[in-house]
Amino acid sequence: MTYVSLTHYASAANCPICGAYAKFEWYYTQVVAIRTKNTKDINNMEFGICAHCNSYTIWVDIRHNVRERDYRMIFPFSGNIPVPNDDLPDDIKLDYKEAASVVNLSPRGSVALLRLALQKLCKHLGEKGENINNDIKSLVSKGLSPTIQKALDSVRVTGNSAVHPGVLDIKDDRETAVKMFGFLNIIADVMITQPKMINEYYEFKVPEGDKIAIEKRDNKG
């Protein structure tokens, strides 16, 4: 299912905390004076509650203008970043989540962490994990899809520019950083999740006799 980012007042979306596609209920904020018990609305803050995990997101209107509202999510800090692919190794998930936690504060720092995650992912895929460019070259020689190669190089180049500023400066470009999270999940899906699903089906569903016949077919010179 496609990840649906949560927007202000959305009736349903993927929760930025639990990741599930769920309904959301929205509430505005009131404060109560301790001594007088008077209540007062806080007109620029609202909460979105996930029906699946009961966690809340906090939104603030940055314009403070009744006619032109512009609510931005300020909690969780990761905003609408999709959760990491379940099949990523745990250490890479930690890098991904750390990158998500700082994306609003430092897009540049976020993509630098994603580049580190990519380096670890290349090693997980059987490469040396010492030089991402060489690892990608090796994967291409093994038949890597040109589309996935472009995704790998996009994260590599963007993350490298974040560490060593050059032509591309993403210091204030959150949108670029957000795209890198999507690319890393796409890479994980194609390189890990899809082969895993296919191999599991082949291993447990294809009869042994058919496997032998397939092997003989493929070994014919």
- Is pLDDT above 90 for 47? yes
Q: What is the pLDDT of residue 171?
A: 53
Pair of tokens at residue 164? 């060593």
Residue 100 buriedness (CB in 10 A; 0-12 / 13-18 / 19+): buried
Helix (H, G, I), strand (E, B) or coil at 22: strand
Contacts of residue 142, defined as CB under 8 A and 6 or more positions apart, other chains included, come to none
Contacts of residue 41, defined as CB under 8 A and 6 or more positions apart, other chains included, come to 28, 29, 30
Q: What is the pLDDT of residue 96?
A: 94
Contacts of residue 78, defined as CB under 8 A and 6 or more positions apart, other chains included, come to 16, 97, 100, 101, 103, 104
Residue 60 buriedness (CB in 10 A; 0-12 / 13-18 / 19+): middle
Facing residues of 13 across strands? 22
Q: What is the pLDDT of residue 37?
A: 79
Q: What is the pLDDT of residue 94?
A: 94
Q: pLDDT-derived band of residue 127, with 50, 70 and 90 as boundaries?
A: very high
For the chain, give the percent of residues with pLDDT over 70: 92
Query: Which of 67, 69, 68, 23 is closest to 46 using CA atoms?
Result: 69
- Is pLDDT above 60 for 85? yes
Q: Residue range 70-87: average pLDDT? A: 85
Q: How far does CA 128 lie from the centroid of its chain?
A: 24
- Is pLDDT above 80 for 41? no
Quick: pLDDT tens for 136-175: 999 999 988 999 999 999 888 887 776 655 555 555 577 7
Quick: pLDDT tens for 16-30: 888 889 999 999 888
Q: pLDDT-derived band of residue 72, with 50, 70 and 90 as boundaries?
A: confident
DSSP assignment string, 28-91: EEEEE-TTT--EEEEEEEEEEEETTT--EEEEEESS--SSS--EEEEESTTTTPPPPPTTS-HH
